[in-house]
């Protein structure tokens, strides 16, 4: 998957390069009722602006509800909000996907996340795709 950003079809309107991969994460999210649910999920892509999460958990989340996402390799939880959610049926089971946007990143969290993101792009062989993305953005 060295191409970066092509796994999910459609117009890519992102301002940030997305690194494609799979990361097991821990989510703490505020549900519609106000209760906080914690569950495991998988991030399917990551960027400076947010992530695409997928899980089997049926959490009662809605758009604009806050959450915190912990990537074991990143070193710090990242605050986010749900921007959109979709349910998918896959081989007789339902997974839920959320597009989430990072919010209120402190300078320390942003620096830690930046290091993690670019080290993952390098590890997954997506550096060239990132350079191409930056070159297109400059036009």
| Tokens of residue 91, six digits | 């081989």
Question: Is the pTM higher than 0.85?
Answer: no
Angstrom distance (rounded) from CA 34 to CA 23 = 27
Which residue(s) pair with 20 in the sheet? Answer: 45
Give pLDDT tens digits for 6-39.
Answer: 444 454 556 778 899 999 999 998 887 888 889 9
Q: What 3-state class would DSSP assign to 117? A: helix
Q: What is the mean pLDDT of residues 120-136?
A: 85
8 A C-beta contact, residue 67 and residue 28: yes
Topology of the domain covering 19-137 = Thrombin, subunit H (2.40.10)
């Amino acid at each position: 998957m060295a191409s970066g950003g092509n796994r999910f079809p459609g117009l890519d309107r992102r301002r940030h390069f997305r690194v494609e991969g799979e990361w097991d994460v821990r989510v703490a999210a505020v549900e519609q009722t106000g209760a906080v649910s914690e569950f495991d999920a998988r991030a399917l892509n990551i960027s400076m602006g947010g992530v695409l999460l997928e899980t089997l958990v049926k959490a009662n989340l809605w758009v604009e509800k806050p959450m915190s996402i912990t990537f074991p390799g990143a070193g710090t939880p990242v605050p986010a909000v749900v921007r959109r959610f979709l349910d998918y049926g896959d081989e007789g089971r339902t997974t839920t996907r959320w597009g989430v946007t990072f919010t209120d990143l402190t300078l320390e969290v942003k620096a830690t996340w930046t290091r993690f993101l670019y080290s993952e792009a390098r590890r997954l062989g997506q550096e060239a795709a990132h350079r191409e993305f930056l070159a297109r953005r400059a036009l």
